[in-house]
């Protein structure tokens, strides 16, 4: 007795009913697979874009308290940080020591604000390789006063390659200063994020900022395995304290959130506790991803709610459908029992019919999700789009994983078998004589 063949025949002979049930299952599977794929793609793209824009996975900055009471943004305890980094070197692929100026470029009475990074060019070949020149050349990159400007900034200023621009800024001690730079090239916004910066040699920038040659203001770490980001960040904080360093206090949370917001807006009358040396601030990619993670959690919650509603509707439909099937096939069940089919085989037959329906619906739902996902990924957003941070080179990513497909299929299969279970048990309990007289 081949129950699979019988189940397939029974499903096939009621095509309209089977197709409607299969369509409902397929639609539910398609929606949850597609939404999960979109949210996973959003996370991957945003994480990659943040990593590219911020220059790493972990970001260390410092502040030094001056005799005047003002704060100077710099990492003064270079030796301390070197000792700390030596203890986590097995997790770090590359490190980038940077100084930064957030000043205004001036050229021919035109002004444009842009962040400028001082870079150790000899230690940042990866950055050099990633630079996408619009105009100019990298031949004089290591000249002290050479600078690479974003293409948009150069156009706003009207400056050409080889011309000199002025940069107005404040030193680390709060003094006004002006530096002269020779433009050797302009950069495209390669990532399409609208997140551009200018680059120059760190030695010249330090001399303008009032920093010692070996000092820098921030250190970006690129990890060999991003999955270790929380562990390495925590270890760095612990090691800095163990080496005698000072950490910036963690921001207020929970009940202190309102107080923190007011302080951020209007300032605080409470003075900070004084410290000696450099006070370090250690942040990582996850700190910038919190908002994205919250949005994704909301989207996943909405998708899960929709999926549960669809499952409930499908489950009710399956229960009612298989009750109707049982009533329509009472005499058939009686005949099968009369010729020797056991109760467990009757129950299994109904369950197999439900299994065939759900697997068929899940298959078509997954195929539909893959096709729609592929179509969505072909949509091209223009450069500089407001959605650039969630895109991959102008495209939406739909990351549909095999594990996600399998877990959704297992869940909907179990729900279907649970729904069919009750009519299957009732069909199995029918007495042959009663069924044949019906």
The domain containing residue 335 runs over which residues?
Answer: 3-51+290-437
DSSP 94-123: EEEEEEEE--EEEETTEEEE--EEEE-GGG
- DSSP single-letter state for residue 211: -
* CB-based contacts of 169, cutoff 8 Å, min separation 6: 101, 102, 103, 104, 176, 177, 178, 179, 208, 209
Same domain, 268 and 374: no
Same domain, 225 and 295: no
Same domain, 102 and 40: no
End position of a domain, from candidates 285, 302, 330: 285
Q: Tell me what pLDDT residue 266 has.
A: 37
Same domain, 181 and 98: yes
Same domain, 338 and 385: yes
End position of a domain, from candidates 246, 265, 285: 285
Q: Tell me what pLDDT residue 270 has.
A: 43
Same domain, 314 and 424: yes
Total domains in the fold of the chain: 2
End position of a domain, from candidates 262, 285, 308: 285
Q: Tell me what pLDDT residue 189 has.
A: 66
How far, in whole angstroms, is CA 383 from its chain's centroid? 20
- Which residues are 187's β-sheet partners? 133, 150
Please list the pLDDT of the chain residue by residue as tens digits (438 residues). 577 888 788 777 777 877 888 888 888 888 888 888 888 888 888 777 777 666 788 999 998 888 877 888 888 888 999 999 999 999 999 888 999 988 999 998 899 998 899 999 988 888 888 788 889 999 999 898 999 999 989 999 999 999 999 999 999 888 899 999 999 999 986 544 556 789 999 999 999 999 888 889 999 999 999 889 999 999 999 999 999 999 988 765 544 434 443 343 334 444 556 778 889 999 988 887 777 777 777 777 777 777 778 778 777 877 787 777 777 777 777 777 777 778 788 888 888 888 888 899 899 999 999 999 999 988 887 765 666 767 787 788 888 888 889 988 898 888 888 888 887 777 777 776 665 665
Q: Give ∠ CA 273-274-275 in degrees, rounded to 5.
A: 120
Q: Tell me what pLDDT residue 17 has.
A: 78
Task: Please give the model's pTM, rounded to 2 decimal places.
Answer: 0.64
Q: Tell me what pLDDT residue 56 has.
A: 81
Same domain, 298 and 169: no
Same domain, 345 and 415: yes
How big is the chain, counted in residues?
A: 438
* CB-based contacts of 344, cutoff 8 Å, min separation 6: 428
239, containing H or E segment: helix 229-242
Q: Tell me what pLDDT residue 260 has.
A: 42
Same domain, 74 and 184: yes
How many angstroms separate the CA atoms of 361 and 319, rounded?
16
Same domain, 248 and 312: no
How many angstroms separate the CA atoms of 201 and 206, rounded?
9
How many angstroms separate the CA atoms of 52 and 39, rounded?
20
Same domain, 146 and 78: yes
Q: Tell me what pLDDT residue 392 has.
A: 80
Same domain, 21 and 165: no
């Amino acid at each position: 007795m081949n129950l699979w063949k019988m189940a397939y025949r029974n499903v096939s002979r009621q095509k309209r009913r089977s197709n409607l049930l299969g369509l409902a299952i397929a639609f539910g599977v398609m929606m949850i697979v597609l939404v999960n794929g979109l949210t996973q793609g959003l996370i991957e793209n945003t994480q990659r874009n943040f990593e590219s824009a911020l220059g790493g996975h972990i970001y260390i900055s410092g502040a030094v308290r001056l005799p005047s009471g003002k704060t100077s943004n710099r990492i003064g305890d270079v030796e301390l940080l070197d000792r700390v980094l030596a203890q986590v070197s097995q997790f770090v692929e590359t490190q980038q020591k940077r100084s930064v100026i957030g000043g205004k470029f001036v050229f021919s009475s035109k002004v444009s604000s842009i962040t400028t990074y001082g870079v150790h060019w000899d230690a940042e070949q990866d950055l050099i390789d990633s630079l996408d020149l619009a105009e100019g050349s990298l031949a004089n990159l290591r000249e002290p006063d050479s600078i690479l400007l974003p293409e948009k900034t150069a156009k706003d200023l009207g400056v050409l390659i080889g011309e000199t621009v002025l940069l107005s800024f404040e030193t680390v001690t709060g003094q006004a200063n002006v530096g002269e730079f020779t433009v050797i090239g302009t950069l495209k916004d390669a990532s399409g994020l609208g997140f551009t910066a200018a680059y120059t040699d760190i030695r010249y920038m330090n001399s303008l900022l009032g920093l010692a040659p070996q000092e820098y203001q921030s250190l970006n770490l690129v990890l060999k395995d991003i999955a270790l980001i929380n562990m390495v960040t925590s270890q760095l904080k612990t090691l800095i304290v163990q080496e005698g360093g000072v950490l910036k206090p963690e921001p207020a949370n929970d009940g202190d959130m309102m107080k923190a917001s007011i302080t951020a807006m209007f300032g605080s009358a409470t003075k900070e506790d004084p410290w000696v040396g450099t006070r370090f601030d250690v942040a990582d990619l996850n700190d910038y991803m919190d908002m994205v993670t919250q949005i994704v959690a909301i989207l996943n919650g909405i998708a899960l709610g929709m999926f549960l509603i669809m499952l409930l509707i499908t489950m009710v439909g399956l229960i009612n459908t298989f009750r109707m099937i049982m009533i329509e096939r009472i005499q058939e069940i009686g005949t099968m029992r009369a010729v020797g089919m056991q109760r467990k085989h009757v129950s299994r037959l109904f369950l197999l019919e439900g299994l065939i329906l759900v697997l068929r619906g899940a298959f078509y739902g997954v195929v539909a999700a893959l096709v729609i996902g592929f179509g969505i990924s072909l949509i091209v957003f223009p450069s500089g789009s407001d959605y650039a941070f969630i895109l991959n080179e102008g495209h939406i990513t739909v990351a549909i994983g095999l594990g996600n497909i399998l877990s959704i299929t297992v869940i909907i299969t179990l729900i279907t078998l649970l729904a069919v279970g009750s009519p299957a048990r009732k069909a199995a309990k029918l007495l042959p004589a009663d069924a044949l007289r019906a």
